[in-house]
Amino acid sequence: MQLLVNGQAHEVDAGAERTLLSVLRHEVGLTGTKYGCGEGNCGACTVLLDGEATRSCITPVASAAGREITTIEGVEGLADGDGLHPVQEAFARESAFQCAYCTPGFIVSTVALLERNPKPDRKQIRAALSGHICRCGTYPRILKAVETAAELMGGQTGDTA
């Protein structure tokens, strides 16, 4: 089966019933996407499927074939210019993590959120990220980081809007 991950085609030999998470981590070798629960309850495994935040631990790999898959490793590539995506930059700047095991998932979901809603209010941010768990409890910083990211991106897209 062929998977399109971060703009690159990967031929993988995997049973259709395997999860996208398992195939990404074990066959494609991208370990930035994390396993946290395997049940769709924590958000650690979030990737973008055609731009939409998706729990890869409960997504059969077959259903991702032929779609554009973006993992945390591909987030930089979504930004204009080199270096970190503004969402990554904002998480780094606000130190919106401790152990950071949850961070790839939060960042990927935030990218999707800001794509469809460039200026979310706190309530919208909370709603969009309510499926994620950060056990280190860095939520106050994550809220701030999402706002910072929105500002950074507003600056970038301002002229074209």
Partner 1 sequence: MSAGKDAALVVIGPPKWSLDPENPVPPEDDAVLLRLGEDGRATAYSGKVEYGQGIRSGFAYAVADELDLPVDSVEVVLGDTRMVPYDRGTTGSASTRTVGLQLRRAAAAARQALIGLAAEEWATDAGGITAEKGEVLEIDGASRSARFAELLEGRTLEIDIPEQIVIKQIDDLNLTADAARRVDAIARVTGTAKYSRDIALPGMLHGKILRPPSYGARLQQVDTTRAEQVPGFVAFVRDGDFAGVVAEREDAAEYALETVRARWEETRVDSSDWSLPGLLKEKAKDLAVLRESGSLDAGFDAADRIFEGVYFVPYVANATMEPCASVAEWDGGHLTVWSGNRAPFTERAGIAQAFGISEDSVDVITAEVGGSFGSKSSTVSYEAARLSQEVGRPVRVAYSREEEFTWSTVRPAALIEIRSGVSSDGEIVAWDYVAYHAGETPFRGRRGADTPYGTANVRIAVANAESPLSSGSYRSLGGAVNHFAREVHIDEIAAGMGIDPVELRSRNLAHPRYRRVLEVAAQKFGWSSRSGSDGKGFGVALGHDVGSYVAQCVELSVSGREVQVERVVAAFDCGLALNPDGVRNQVEGSIMMGIGTALWEAMEFDGGRVLNPGFSRYRVPRITDAPEIEVELVGDPDTPSTGAGEPGIVPVAAAVANAVTDATGTRVDQLPIVPRL
The site for partner 1 (CB under 8 A) is made up of 15, 18, 22, 25-26, 29-39, 41-42, 44, 71-73, 75-76, 84, 88-89, 91-93, 95, 97-104, 107, 125-127, 129-130, 132-143
In whole angstroms, the minimum distance from the beta carbon of 33 to partner 1 comes to 7
Answer yes or no: are the C-beta atoms of 36 and 14 closer than 8 Å. Answer: no
Nearer to partner 1 (CB atom), residue 90 or residue 161: 90
Answer yes or no: are the C-beta atoms of 118 and 154 closer than 8 Å. Answer: yes
In whole angstroms, the minimum distance from the beta carbon of 15 to ligand FES comes to 19
Q: Which of 42, 64, 75, 125 binds ligand FES (CB under 6 A)?
A: 42
The alpha carbon dihedral of 14, 19, 25, 30 has a sign of positive
Q: What residue 127 binds from partner 1, ligand FES, none (CB within 5 to 8 A, per partner kind)?
A: partner 1
Distance between CA atoms of residues 107 and 91, nearest Å = 8
Q: What residue 45 binds from partner 1, ligand FES, none (CB within 5 to 8 A, per partner kind)?
A: ligand FES
60: DSSP letter: B
Nearest to 84 by CA among 111, 120, 54, 113: 111
Distance between CA atoms of residues 115 and 86, nearest Å = 12
Contacts with ligand FES, residue ranges (CB under 6 A): 35-38, 40-45, 55, 57, 97-102, 134-136, 138
